[in-house]
Structure 1
Amino acid sequence: MNPFTLHTLAALAAGVALALPMGAHAGLDNDVPSCYVAHKLSTQSAPADKLFYVLIDQTVELDDGLKASVRNNIRRMVQPGSRFVISQFSAFSQGRYLEVLNTGFVESPMTEEQAGNVPMSKVPGFNACMKQQGQYALGLMDKAALSAMNGATHSLNQSDILSALKQVSVAIKEAPEKNKVLFLVTDALENSSITSFYTRNSVAKIDPAKEMQKVSGGDLVGDFGGARVYVLGAGLLKPSTTGSRAERDGYRDPDTMRRLQTFWGEYFGKSNAHLVEFGAPALLQPTTY
C-alpha cells in the first residue's frame, strides 16, 4: 500500500467524517483525519490523555522573537495522544469575539496487541500515515497561530481577557483528559467594564486583592479543572508618543509587574488552575506536560 501523503490527509479532512472515541474532542470538530479510519482498521486509538489549549489575545502585537517563541512552544506540545485547541479573542464589544480556529486529536500508535490483529499489508501504510498525521496537526496549529498573531492590533480600546478565560474554563474543565495545559498569549492587561490595568500610557500599579474582589463580584472566576497555565506576553505595551521617557519606551517597573503577576497567580489559583510560568514578556521555561 502506498503511504498516505499530507495531501491525502488534507483531502480526508475536507471530505471524510471522522470516527473518534467518545470524549476525544469534547463536542468540538476534529480537524485532523484519523489514520485508523482512513485505513479501515477494526480497532481505534486510545483516547487522548493530554489537552493543550492555546488562547491568543489579538489586542497584543508581538515582535518576531515572541512570535517564534509561541510557535516553538506549540510544536513541543503536539504529541501522540494529545488533543489541541487554538482560539483567539480580543474585545467582544468590537466584533472580535472568542473564536476557536482549530482543534484536533493526534492519535496514539497501535499497541502490540492491536497490531497483532491487523493484516500485515496495512501496517506500513498506517505507520506512514501516523507520522504524517503529526506533521499535519503541527501545520494546522502553526498556520492558525500565525493568523491570530498577525491579525493582532493595538488599536482596539478594550481587552476582555477575564471574560474570555471564564468561557474557556468551561471547556477545559469538562475535557476528559487528565493532563491539561493552557497556553495564554496575552499582555495580561484587562481593560473592560469590570476593571482596567492601565493608567495613562502605562501599566497601573494594581492592588491584587482589590482586583480579585472586582473579579469575584463580576462572576468571572472560572474553573479550569486543575490545568497548568503558561502566560507569554505579560505587560507588553505599545510605545507611547507622549508622556515621560519611560512611558514612551514602554517601561514597566518591577513592583508593577510583581503586582500583576500576583493578581494572575491568585486568579488562576481561585479558578482551580496553577500558574506555572508568567512570561513578562518571554517564557523563561518552555511549555511542558
Structure 2
Amino acid sequence: MSQELQRSAWEHAMRYVKPGDSVRLYQFSAFLQNNYMKLQFAGTLDSPLQGKVRNSIGTNSLKQLDNCLKQQTVFFQKTFGKQFVGSFGRPGEDIARSEVFASLQKIGDDIAGRPAQDKVVLLVSDMLENSDFGSFYSANQVRTLDPAAELQKVEHKQLFANLGGARVYVHGAGLVSGAAQGAYRSGNTLQKLEAFWREYLQRSNATLESFGTPALTVDIR
C-alpha cells in the first residue's frame, strides 16, 4: 500500500477515535514469516470528568488530571501509530497468500462479545482472498466474481464471521501490487467485489458502511 494510502488510513482513524473509545489493532495473517494473525495493540482512552463530579474535585487535582489525559492522548498516538505503520507490508514485499475470511472470523471471536454501545471496524485490506479456499485473482488480475456463487462456497466452508453488529469501513479494496500492479480493474469487477463483501458482512452480523476502491472517501461516523 502506498504511503499516501497508509497516511489516509491513519488520518481516518485519528479523526474518529475520541476519549472513552477502546481501540484494538489486528494484523491479518499472510504467507510470510511473522505475519500471522495477531492483536498488535489494545488500549482505552479515558474520558474527562464532567459536571458535578468534575466540580467536586480541587483545582490542583483537576490540573494534574487534565495534564495526565493530554499525555495519555500523546502516548496513544505515538504507540498506536508505531504499531499501525508496522502492520503494513514492506515496499516490494510480495505476499503470496492472504486469508481474509479466517482473519475476520478471529477478529469476530474477539470483539463480538465485548460490551460497547457502538462497534466500528476500519478494514484496511485489498479484500482479495488468496488462500486454500480459493483466489479472487485470475491471470494476475482481479477476478470478476459471481457474488452468489462465491457466497455459496463461503457458506459450504463455514467461513462467515460474527462481528457483533459492527459497522465496517473498507480502505484499499481491489488494490493490487507485484506482478498484477497496474492491471486494469473494471468498474463492473469492483462493483461485484463490493456486492460480495456487502452480503458477506451482512451474513457475518455486520454492516458495510463504505467501500473504498482503493481510497475511503467518507469520514468514519
TM-score range, shorter chain: over 0.9
Alignment RMSD: 1.8
Question: What letter is aligned with 1:91?
Answer: A
Which residue matches 1:271? 204
CA distance in 1, matches of 2:12, 2:33: 29
The secondary structure found in structure 1 opposite 2:88 is helix
Q: CA contact under 8 A between 1:206 and 1:256: conserved in structure 2?
A: yes
TM alignment of 1:27-46, pairs within 5 A? none
- Deviation track 1:220-271 (CA, whole Å, cap 9, x = no partner) reads 111111110011111111153xxxxxx6632101111111000000000101
Is 1:125 the counterpart of 2:64? The answer is yes
Given the alignment, which residue of 159, 162, 173 partners 1:234? Answer: 173
User: What stretches of structure 2 of length at least 5 have no aligned partner?
Assistant: none
Q: Following the alignment from structure 1 to structure 2, what is the Cα–Cα distance between the partners of residues 264 and 75?
A: 25
Q: How do 1:67-216 residues align onto structure 2 when only pairs under 5 Å count?
A: 67-91=6-30, 95-151=34-90, 154-216=93-155
Partner of 2:194: 261
Once the two structures are superposed, residues 192-229 of structure 1 have per-residue CA deviations (whole angstroms, 9 ceiling, x without a partner) of 11121010110111111111111111111111111100
Q: What's the CA shift for 1:283?
A: 0.7
Q: Secondary structure at the match of 2:119?
A: strand
Larger Rg: 1
SS state of the match for residue 127, structure 1?
Answer: helix
Q: Which runs of 5+ in 1 are unaligned?
A: 1-61, 241-246
What amino acid maps onto 2:23 in structure 1?
Answer: F
The answer to whether the Cα contact below 8 Å between 1:79 and 1:134 also exists between their aligned partners in 2 is no
The aligned length equals 221
Partners in 2 of 1:265 and 1:253 — Cα distance? 18
What are the residue-to-residue correspondences of 1:33-72 with 2, within 5 Å?
Answer: 62-72=1-11
Secondary structure (helix, strand or coil) at the match of 2:158 reads coil
CA contact (8 A) 1:195 1:211 kept: no
| d(CA) in 1 for partners of 2:127, 2:18 | 28
The TM-score, its normalising length taken from structure 1, stands at: 0.72
Match of 1:249 among 160, 172, 182: 182
CA positional deviation for 1:135: 1.9
1:287 aligns with 2:203: no
Q: Following the alignment from structure 2 to structure 1, what is the Cα–Cα distance between the partners of residues 47 and 81?
A: 21
Asked if structure 2 preserves the Cα contact closer than 8 Å seen for 1:235 and 1:281, the reply is yes
TM-score of the pair, normalised by structure 2: 0.93
Write the distance in 2 (CA, Å) between the matches of 1:67 and 1:175.
Answer: 28
